Chain A
């Protein structure tokens, strides 16, 4: 923090959040007095944390200091006693369904769920109708995002569209990706309809190298029981459902990292669900391949057993896997082999899921529950706090060039106050997304976002802690 920023700037604070509990390392000293705080203890032991004040001016972090250590007042004071401080999360994989399937979700409802769920940045996939394969569709999405947030509040979660890799996602011709980039696309993907031709996929990766954009691949061998929605294993065998083996994902992941290595190009692997893919990624990283990977909360919190009873809300692609894969994913996320978390938020209308299992579409609605589901992993010691932070904030933002709050001076003031103990029941009334399709329906989750600030402004309608 530059010297000349200190006392003068502090006098014009727009927002001060007082006495929030911060479990991470205090990265910055400030006010000319602080020293670097102690690092969180290693070995899986959770720091008990410390109480801090967060000072914000003009939408940015001025400083984070030990509670009460600076005697300054802000235009808006928030008492955060008893609440946990977290930076806003970034989700690099959502399906917002607009344009074309607004009955499932639209950009306004998706962003609303994101705000309530703790997300400041959202990347949305191109499988809309029409597909986001032309600049006008990208521009329409961005315009809808601008319009969807109430002007009185002025700021909502930021939308970063992902462009189609091929025209119409058909896997036959490259999409006009330079145009799409100019219109605002931050990455390119054929998510939902993986490119069958390895030749075309190679050319798409090369084309994106010139554009300095990362290709995101949905790893699924298009011939090996595609989109079955249930793992090939004990449960599918008993229920008489055609399952998809985990190698359908791992084979494609192996192809992708070999292509990335050969071309010297970056690749990002979406929604990794199994141990075999983790092994592929770990080996590739050891060779220096520019590969990153995400997994989703449902692959960490749920197993294939959710499908027993033919629960269509547990039908998702890739499918939920056995316990051994869950353990491997948690380990990979903690050690960094899997870089980040993403929701793969895939909202569907209730009537679309209320059909025979075979006839139901794949997908789980995730924006409303992702934070609580993954925080539960931290709370129960299955996921280190540092890995949680990295996976939801720095790793995705660095990979895709998105704004990120590390609570360093000048960072965007995107953060939330989280009541770790508040319990709530997942249901149609408590979810902001139009898509209520989650196997968590009816279950009690712990933790609630009670305040969420984006660029220093509250994005939640009700903010019980506002002074």
Chain B
């Protein structure tokens, strides 16, 4: 498949076939990651800037590792060490990065739309690693790879519950789009204060009781609860939240046989997810991390080689 997109901003850009192609490519890289020598020369000589204007450890490390395993040179630019703290605008940061001629920029930013803002101004590929509350497409794709492996690639008729702080969650927004694209049904559950407006326009079913929402589902995605929601007046306290909306084994007993639990991490044990459940066999949390590297390798490969004639002969058998 000739990859036609310059940037990955949101799942809404992709067709179901393109998503399947990403997942198949990721599955190939996943196999490479299980070899003793995990490095391939595919992106030798290419450079990727990791521009993380918001604190992140796991996503940044995941992209860094993905780039290095493909032999790309990766350069990290954190907000604290960049000119952004000196009052430089995002536009000027973008133009400065452009002048360095990278092949791709991975951006994490607190403002919704920041990845698009960058993409409109840069000639190189922009990969969105999370923009505000808007989108986190690479997380949704690694979640899809995880579920796809669990379900043998078949999403049709499956039901996934996304549980927690939906309003502030880019993970939820991207997953709602992706799961629907692949044919799954999506349920949302969380306190009304943490639900986005106009959910009637979303392709989801909404629940206010976790017990009802968990009934018969094939997977549950827990979302991280940011502790500042309490100060913002959206929650009374964590104890009440954990009791009312925390996922526990009791809920999983209501789910379909073989149902699994996902979490984008980092988890708050005992808040949005029961501690023992996080460590149980149903939990795929660590497999998500492993799949994250493979998905990001696939994306860097597809986006950075889309215009190169040698890409077709690079030996990637997908």
Contacts and interface: CB of A to CB of B under 8 A. Distances in A.
A309 interface: yes
A416 to B, nearest CB: 38
B89 A240 contact: no
Interface string B188-210: 00000000111101100000000
B133 interface: yes
Given A236-B197, A310-B116, A354 B133 contact: no
B216 interface: no
Interface string B127-152: 00001111100000000000000000
B75 interface: no
A240 B198 contact: no
Given A236-B197, A237-B199, A240-B112, A358 B132 contact: yes
B112 A237 contact: no
Interface string A45-78: 0000000000000000000000000000000000
Contacts of A182: none
A239 B134 contact: yes
Interface string B95-118: 000000000000001011110110
A357 B196 contact: no
Interface string A377-410: 0000000000000000000000000000000000
Nearest to B170: A240
Contact of A240 (B90, B91, B133): B133
Given A240-B173, A243-B197, A356 B114 contact: yes
A202 to B, nearest CB: 27
Question: Which residue, B133, B135, B197, has most C-beta atoms of chain A within 10 A?
Answer: B197
Given A233-B198, A234-B201, A240 B135 contact: yes
Given A234-B201, A351-B89, A310 B135 contact: no
Interface in A215-248: 232-234, 236-243, 245
A242 B167 CA distance: 9
A310 B91 contact: no
Contacts of B90: 355-356, 359
Contacts of B114: 356
A238 B202 CA distance: 8
Nearest to B131: A240
B196 A237 contact: yes
A238 B117 CA distance: 17
Contacts of A239: 112-113, 134
Decide if the interface of chain A is mainly helix, strand, loop or mixed. loop
Interface string A279-319: 00000000000000000000000000000011000000000
A223 to B, nearest CB: 10
Nearest to B132: A240
Contact of B201 (A237, A241, A310): A237
Contacts of A242: 133
A415 to B, nearest CB: 43
A241 B113 CA distance: 9
Contacts, number: 62
A310 B128 CA distance: 15
B111 A358 contact: yes
A310 B119 CA distance: 13
Interface residues of B, number: 23
Contacts of A359: 90, 111
Contacts of A243: 197
Interface string A343-358: 0000000010011111
A358 B54 CA distance: 15
A310 B170 contact: no
Given A237-B201, A243-B197, A354 B91 contact: yes
A233 B135 CA distance: 18
Contact of B113 (A310, A351, A354): A310
Contacts of A351: 89, 91
A100 B173 CA distance: 42
Nearest to B121: A354
A21 to B, nearest CB: 44
Given A356-B109, A357-B111, A359-B111, A241 B133 contact: yes
A307 to B, nearest CB: 10
B142 to A, nearest CB: 20
Contacts of B91: 351, 354-355
A237 B135 contact: no
A48 to B, nearest CB: 44
Contacts of B202: 237
B118 to A, nearest CB: 10
A70 to B, nearest CB: 60
B112 A232 contact: no
Question: Which residue, A236, A309, A357, A359, has most C-beta atoms of chain B within 10 A?
Answer: A357
Interface in B135-184: 135, 170, 173
Question: Which residue, B113, B135, B170, has most C-beta atoms of chain A within 10 A?
Answer: B113
A358 B196 contact: no
Contacts of A236: 197
Interface of A: 232-234, 236-243, 245, 309-310, 351, 354-359
Interface of B: 89-91, 109, 111-114, 116-117, 131-135, 170, 173, 196-199, 201-202
17 contacts: A238-B173, A238-B201, A239-B112, A239-B134, A240-B131, A240-B135, A241-B134, A242-B133, A309-B116, A310-B112, A310-B113, A351-B89, A354-B89, A355-B90, A355-B117, A357-B111, A358-B112
Given A233-B197, A355-B90, A356-B90, 17 more contacts: A233-B198, A234-B201, A236-B197, A237-B196, A237-B197, A237-B198, A237-B201, A238-B201, A239-B112, A239-B134, A240-B132, A240-B173, A241-B113, A310-B116, A356-B114, A356-B117, A359-B111
3 nearest A-B pairs in the assembled complex, by CB-CB distance: A310-B113, A240-B133, A240-B134
